[in-house]
Structure 1
Amino acid sequence: MNRQYLFDHYPNVVVTSECFKLHDEIISQIDEGEILVRNHYLSLDPYMRGRMSKAKNYAAGQELNTVMQGGTVGEVVESKHADFKVGDTVICTGGWQLYYRTAPTMDSNHVRKIDVSRIPMSVYLGAAGMPGITAWYGLNKIIKPQSGETLVVSAASGAVGSVVGQLAKQKGCRVIGIAGGPEKCEYVVETLGFDDCIDYKAYPDAETLSHELRQLAPNGVDAYYENVGGYIMDAVLDNLNAFARVAICGLIAGYDGRAIPISNPRAILVARASITGFIISDHMDIWPQALAELAEAVAKGVLIFRESVSVGLESAPDAFIGLLQGHNFGKQLVKLI
Structure 2
Amino acid sequence: MDALSTEDLIHAESVLYHHFFCYVKSMALSCAVHLGIPNAIYHRGGSATLSDLIADTGLHASRLPCLKRLMNVLTISCIFTASNPPATGSSTTGSLSSREEVVYKLTTMSRLLITGDDNKLCSMSPMLHFLVRPLTVTPFFGMHSWFKDEQAASKSFFEMAHGCDRWEMTSKNAEDNGVLNEAMVADSQLVMEIFLREAGGKIFSGISSLVDVGGGLGGASAAITRAFPHIKCTVLDLPHVVSQASSRCNGTVHFVAGDMFEFIPRSDAVLLKWVLHCWGDDDCIKILRLCKAAIPAREDGGKVIIIDCVMGSGPQDPVSKETHALYDLYMMYINGVERGENDWKKIFQEAGFSGYKIVSGLGIRSAIEVYP
Please state which band the TM-score falls in when normalised by the shorter chain: 0.3 to 0.5
Please give the TM-score of this superposition, normalised by the length of structure 2: 0.39
**Which structure shows the higher strand fraction?**
1
Q: Which structure would you say has the larger RCO, counting Cα contacts within 8 Å and 6 or more residues apart?
A: 1
Look at both structures and tell me which one has the larger radius of gyration over its CA atoms. Answer: 2
Bigger proportion of residues as helix? 2
